[in-house]
Amino acid sequence: MDKNKKYRKKEKGFTLIEMLIVIIIIGLLASLVAPRLFTKVDKARIKTAKAQIELLSTAVDTYRLDLGKFPTTLEALRRSDDSKWEGPYLPKNIPLDPWDGRYVYKCPGEHGPYDIISYGADGKPGGTGNDRDIVSWE
């Protein structure tokens, strides 16, 4: 029994205070790193929306080249009864914007023959930052 008592005294462990200090330090580090990561996510969403609008614009222009007119809806890029139609002009269904909203397509557009718009994070026209509209004419 004497050997077991000596062995137990030599055992080391963390105290509750040490554990709390480590948890606080991890929390402080996370609070410094997290905002930087979230800005990267927001920038990636904006870039994705711009790329998708470019893809949709290319499909709309190709549709016009084939049929001699602009589509009335984005869905016309996927299916049509027109005999000149050589689509589908998009390989998959019309994507949602990165904030899970639908792209707005206006033909005729206010800024050109057509406008394609993502209303950003808030889903409403206008806004700044992440809520800013991503548009085809810029």
In a domain, 2, yes or no: no
User: Is residue 34 one of the residues assigned to a domain?
Assistant: yes
Decide if 66 is inside a domain.
Answer: yes
Torsional class of 85: left (φ above 0), alpha (ψ -120 to 50), beta (otherwise)? beta
109 located within any domain: yes
Instruction: Assess if residue 38 is contained within a domain.
Output: yes
112, part of any domain: yes
Domain count for the chain: 1
Identify the CATH number of the domain in which residue 104 sits. Answer: 3.30.700.10
Closest CA to 122 of 37, 34, 15, 42: 42
Answer whether residue 62 is part of any domain: yes
Q: Does 102 reside within a domain?
A: yes
> pTM for the whole thing?
0.71
Find the domain containing 25 and state its range: 17-135
Which strands make up the sheet holding 115-118, listed edge to edge? Answer: 104-106, 115-118, 134-135
Residue-level pLDDT, tens digit, the chain, 138 residues: 555 555 555 567 778 888 889 898 888 888 877 777 777 788 889 999 999 999 999 999 999 998 999 999 999 998 887 778 887 889 889 999 999 999 999 999 999 999 999 998 888 898 888 789 999 998
